[in-house]
Amino acid sequence: MLEKINLLFAEISELKVNGPEELESFRLRFLSKKGQISDLFEEFRNVPAEDKKEIGQKLNLLKQSALDKYNLLKSEMLISDTGSRAEDLSRPAVPYSLGSRHPISIVRNEIIDIFRRIGFTVSEGPEIEDDDHVFTKLNFAPEHPARDMQDTFYISRISAEDSNPGDILLRTHTSSVQVRVMQGQKPPIRTISPGRVFRNEAISARAHCIFHQVEGLYIDENVSFADLRQTLLFFAREMYGKDVRIRLRPSYFPFTEPSAEMDISCTICGGKGCNVCKYTGWVEVLGCGMVHPAVLESCGIDSKKYTGFAFGMGIERPAMLKYQVNDLRLYFENDIRFLEQFRTAF
């Protein structure tokens, strides 16, 4: 059987065709269900077990070789044929250049990949949310300034007399997805929530009213702040390089206690100082902390048995550091001169 395979290899490699009829004859002879290669696969059933591996590999290579030869001959025929049969009427009249992924999508996928490697799953939720998921279950006090119109885009404000409780709004963070996960899943929970969020802020080189976030949540027994720090250190080194340094500064968030802001050494200026790091050598990249017991209880999780940590970061700023972009507004202007720089970044 090996001799038959080798003979067909030689014949296929040297074969030439003239015209569509001979090309179709090639296909029928070698690649059709009644062709010579199909006959060899039928014979393969009777090959002794000790020879199946070697002959099977050769047979698969023969089939692939015939298919490659057929595609090559077909493409050469289309190029050489100047008749109407070679014209593709569905092609655009003006040639278009190959597009690319948006830099935000590139960095988003990279962040997701880093956390997936250490066991985090991806969860998503609606951009139009209610007050309960965005604020109340995350331990925001009724008078918290984040509920004010200056920070939140409300779609409808519900009065106290209304029978339907809660306001409808555009989510200000993807923590609302974490609430939904905690309500629908028992610990252990290890998930990240990427998505678009909205805040009523002035647009500048460092801020926008629309931006993208990735938030993470890990809940299990005996989770500590040391677990949080090690997770974030792993992320920073995978994302920004093995030499990057991190620091955690005490902070406050209603849904975590204790809370911290994480800075990394500026990758644009190397820590010397620039307009991106405000000439400090450090860039704030995310907020984090241990999940507040009140948040666990509001979502139906026993805070005496389980602990957890959470973190959240914008995607625009890591993209600024990765590609050394000094104006966040460039991501939203769709300037082709800017986007073409990421053509090879898939």
3-state SS track over 138-205: HCCCCCCHHHCCCCCCEEECCCCCCCCCCCEEECCCCHHHHHHHHHHCCCCEEEEEEEEEECCCCCCC
Q: Is the CATH number 3.40.50.12780 carried by domain 103-119+183-342?
A: no
Q: What is residue 247's predicted lDDT score, i.e. its pLDDT?
A: 94
Whole-number pLDDT of residue 345:
44
Q: What is the pLDDT of residue 261?
A: 95
Q: Give dist(CA 224, CA 232) in Å, integer.
A: 13
Strand partners, 210: 198
pLDDT at 196 over 90: yes
Whether the per-residue pLDDT at 89 is higher than 80: the answer is no
User: Which helix (H) or strand (E) element contains residue 290?
Assistant: strand 282-291
Tens digits of residue pLDDT in 211-237: 899 999 999 999 999 999 999 999 999
Nearest CA to 255 out of 329, 308, 330 is that of 308
Q: What tens digit of pLDDT does each residue of 272-293 get? A: 777 767 888 888 889 999 999 9
Q: Is 184 left (phi over 0), alpha (psi -120 to 50) or beta?
A: alpha
Report pLDDT for 135: 92
Mean pLDDT value of segment 185-201? 93
Residue type at position 346: F
For 136-145, how does the pLDDT look when each residue is reduced to its tens digit (9 = 90+)?
A: 999 998 888 8
Tokens of 102: 């948006």
What Cα–Cα distance (Å) separates residue 330 from each residue in 109, 154, 195, 335? 19, 27, 19, 7
Nearest Cα residue to 282 out of 274, 294, 292? 274
CATH 3.30.930.10 in the chain is located at 103-119+183-342
- DSSP, res 206: S
What average pLDDT does range 54-65 have in this prediction? 83
Residue 334: how many other CB atoms lie within 10 Å: 9
Alpha-carbon span 219 to 310, nearest angstrom = 9
* pTM for this predicted structure: 0.66
What are the C-alpha distances in Å from 337 to residues 201, 207, 210?
A: 27, 22, 22
Q: Say whether pLDDT at 149 is over 70.
A: no
Looking at residue 306, its amino acid is: Y
pLDDT classification of 191: cutoffs 50, 70, 90: very high
Which DSSP string corresponds to 74-100?
Answer: HHHHHHH--SGGG--TTS-SS------
